[in-house]
């Protein structure tokens, strides 16, 4: 029996079949003086990445795989990979050979020998870089980095890096606070540990992808914003309430536009206009929330119909509560210090909180362990 290795390298994968064997070869050569293992965390890739890793694992005991079913997410994959290891040092690296594995021994030495908490493979320190990146991607990356300062107390040059190494204690301090949303696990860790982390950035050049394709799309940007919100105001407000309320605001505009069309342009009755406008606004709110607020619990197929019915029912009750409370406040406001605006506002807030609370339980219920 050999003891657990000193270093676990965690590799999140989704459709990376063609890159895996080469990555293992490169790790083996970069880490020839280290006692290491590699843990692939694969989200049931249709290209059979997990099966391929298991084949390698049968020949090489340093290779392991965690296959997750009905799950997606880069951040949670990294966390679960780290939790599957008992090594004192944990590294995360992408499977697509874009991160330079040759600096892994330097990352390890920085944490182990200099007593740091984290060592980060960095594109934005002296000597690092992003080869062949189009100007727009460079701009987006820099802009996102600037935004990260909202939640980050440390002066990290490359907080968006997906390539880093940390000592196990850091994971343990962070793990119950992590937001786990999206791609930016390093930033999440820095924002989740209550104390300032001791870190160093080690430069490397981000390489072009060899095979397969990137999973970074516009949704990732949205998830990034949600993660920042979660880390800044998430302690005080349930984080999904923010996009939910925002979409509610869009719903008001939709309502007004439809009302205008039916009541004014088509010259139907006000009641007809209100009815159609309410239905259209609720339906568009339902789909927007399903696409954004509850992206990770997105309803599909028949679930959509069921969800739409429960959403509409909940929001109808919410509307009744809204109007009821506003009317009550307005009418009981004999002295007139609340006024019609505040009465209406109170109704809207109660209605919105009701809609949020009820639909979060009945429409987009937490998935049962699948």
Which one among 4, 35, 72, 172 touches ligand GDD, defined by CB under 6 A?
72
Q: With binding defined as CB under 6 A, does residue 98 bind ligand GDD? A: yes
With contacts defined by CB under 6 A, name the span among 10-18, 24-32, 281-289, 345-353 that binds ligand GDD: 10-18
Residue burial 208-225, b: 16+ Cβ < 10 Å; e: rest? eeeebeebeeeeeebbbe
Quote the least distance from Cβ 221 to ligand GDD, whole Å.
12
CA distance 14 to 34: 27
Q: Is 282 exposed, middle or buried (0-12, 13-18, 19+ CB in 10 A)?
A: buried
Cα→Cα distances 315→65, 98, 163, 308, Å: 45, 47, 44, 10
Rank residues 208 and 324 by Cβ distance to Mn ion and give the closer one. Answer: 208
Other beta carbons within 10 angstroms of residue 297's beta carbon come to: 16
Q: With binding defined as CB under 6 A, does residue 351 bind ligand GDD? A: no
Which residue ranges make up the site for Mn ion (CB under 5 A)? 96, 98
Rank residues 66 and 170 by Cβ distance to ligand GDD and give the closer one. Answer: 66
Among Mn ion, ligand GDD, none, residue 160 binds (CB under 5-8 Å by kind):
ligand GDD
Rank residues 97 and 258 by Cβ distance to Mn ion and give the closer one. Answer: 97
Contact criterion met (CB below 8 Å) for 6 and 33: no
With contacts defined by CB under 6 A, name the span among 70-78, 246-254, 260-268, 329-337 that binds ligand GDD: 70-78
Q: With binding defined as CB under 6 A, does residue 12 bind ligand GDD? A: yes
Among Mn ion, ligand GDD, none, residue 163 binds (CB under 5-8 Å by kind):
ligand GDD
The full DSSP string for 262-300 is IIIIS---HHHHHHHHHHHHHHHHHHHHHHTTTGGG---
CA distance 248 to 251: 5
Apex CA 179: angle with CA 67 and CA 300, to 5°?
A: 60
Query: Which of 300, 351, 292 is CA-nearest to residue 327?
Result: 351
Rank residues 161 and 310 by Cβ distance to ligand GDD and give the closer one. Answer: 161
Q: With binding defined as CB under 6 A, does residue 163 bind ligand GDD? A: yes
CA distance 37 to 9: 6
CA distance 147 to 150: 6
Rank residues 74 and 156 by Cβ distance to Mn ion and give the closer one. Answer: 74
CA 73 to chain centre: 7
Which one among 26, 54, 200, 215 touches ligand GDD, defined by CB under 6 A?
215
With contacts defined by CB under 6 A, name the span among 147-155, 193-201, 210-218, 333-341 that binds ligand GDD: 210-218
Q: With binding defined as CB under 6 A, does residue 160 bind ligand GDD? A: yes
CA distance 297 to 304: 11
Contact criterion met (CB below 8 Å) for 259 and 229: no
Q: Which residue is nearest to ligand GDD (CB)?
A: 162
Q: Count residues binding ligand GDD (CB under 6 A).
A: 24
Quote the least distance from Cβ 338 to ligand GDD, whole Å.
49
- Return the bridge partners of 65, or none: 40
Q: With binding defined as CB under 6 A, does residue 41 bind ligand GDD? A: yes
CA distance 243 to 74: 22
Which one among 29, 205, 210, 214 touches ligand GDD, defined by CB under 6 A?
214
Among Mn ion, ligand GDD, none, residue 229 binds (CB under 5-8 Å by kind):
none
From residue 110 to residue 149, the character string flagging contacts with ligand GDD as x (rule: CB under 6 A) and all else as - is ----------------------------------------
Among Mn ion, ligand GDD, none, residue 41 binds (CB under 5-8 Å by kind):
ligand GDD
Binding stretches for ligand GDD (CB under 6 A): 12-14, 16, 41-43, 72-74, 77, 94-96, 98, 160-163, 183-184, 214-216
């Amino acid at each position: 029996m050999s003891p657990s290795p000193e270093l676990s390298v965690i590799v999140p994968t989704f459709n990376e079949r063609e890159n895996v064997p080469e990555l293992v070869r490169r790790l083996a050569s970069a880490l020839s003086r280290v006692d290491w293992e590699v843990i692939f965390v694969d989200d049931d890739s249709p290209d059979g990445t997990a099966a391929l890793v298991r084949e390698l694992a049968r020949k090489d005991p340093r290779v392991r795989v965690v296959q997750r079913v009905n799950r997606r997410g880069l951040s949670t994959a990294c966390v679960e990979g780290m939790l599957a290891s008992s090594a004192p040092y944990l590294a995360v690296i992408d499977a697509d050979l874009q991160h330079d594995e040759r600096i892994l021994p330097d990352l390890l030495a920085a944490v182990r020998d200099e007593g740091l908490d984290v060592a980060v493979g960095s594109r934005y320190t002296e000597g690092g870089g992003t080869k062949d990146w189009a100007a727009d991607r460079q701009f987006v990356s820099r802009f996102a980095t600037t935004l990260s300062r909202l939640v980050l107390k440390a002066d990290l040059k490359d907080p968006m890096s997906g390539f880093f190494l940390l000592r196990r204690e850091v994971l343990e301090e962070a793990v119950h606070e992590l937001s786990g949303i999206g791609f930016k696990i390093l930033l999440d860790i820095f924002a989740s540990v209550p104390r300032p982390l001791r870190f160093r950035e080690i430069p490397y050049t981000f390489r072009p992808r060899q095979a397969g394709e990137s999973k970074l799309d516009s949704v990732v940007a949205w998830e990034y914003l949600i993660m920042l919100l979660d880390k800044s105001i998430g302690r005080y407000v349930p984080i999904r309430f923010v996009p939910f309320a925002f979409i509610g605001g869009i719903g008001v505009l939709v309502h007004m536009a439809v009302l205008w069309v039916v009541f004014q342009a088509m010259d139907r009755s006000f009641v007809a206009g209100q009815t159609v406008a309410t239905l259209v606004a609720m339906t568009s709110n339902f789909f927007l929330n399903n696409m954004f607020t509850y992206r990770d619990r997105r309803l599909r197929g028949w679930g959509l119909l069921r969800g739409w019915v429960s959403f509409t029912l909940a929001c109808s009750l919410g509307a009744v509560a809204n109007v009821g409370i506003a009317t009550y406040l307005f009418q009981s406001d004999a002295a007139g210090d609340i006024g019609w605006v505040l009465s209406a506002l109170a109704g809207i807030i109660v209605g919105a909180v009701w809609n949020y609370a009820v639909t979060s339980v009945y429409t987009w219920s937490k998935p049962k362990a699948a």
